[in-house]
Amino acid sequence: MLELISFYLASAILGIMVFFSFIVAPVTFTTLNEENARKFIRKIFPFYYNVNLALSSLAIAIYIILKSYNLNFYLILLVSVLFAISNYMLMPLINKYRDQKKDKHFKYSHFLSVIINFVQILLLLIILL
């Protein structure tokens, strides 16, 4: 039963990530002007990361309770760590570089966040397949 819950949590995280990446972010930047889009994204991204961090942490807890330290445990652990890094380290840097108009640093750090997001999606697909 608990194993099934961890599967559902991984599914929920993947659904949130796909919806956010392919619906919320693009619609935000095509609907709102740059200033309002930036304000909105800065408010919603921490929520996005924290919800996914909480869900992935819950999945980790289930694996620990079950003493199931298989590949899926380590993959969801990596997904969780990447959410924490993205939220608490990378996002502040991205915002700082954007505010300071350091375009090269901004583009690099933003690209890194996109790559991390893509890697997390791939890891979740491995868990679910």
pTM of the model: 0.95
Q: What is the pLDDT of residues 18-68, one digit of tens each?
A: 999 999 999 999 999 999 999 999 999 999 999 999 999 999 999 999 999
Q: What is the pLDDT of residues 96-126, one digit of tens each?
A: 999 999 999 999 999 999 999 999 999 999 9
- What is the b/e burial string over 113-122, where b = at least 16 CB atoms within 10 angstroms of the residue's CB? beebbeebbe
Taking the domains of the chain in order of start, what are their residue ranges?
2-128
pLDDT for residue 93? 98
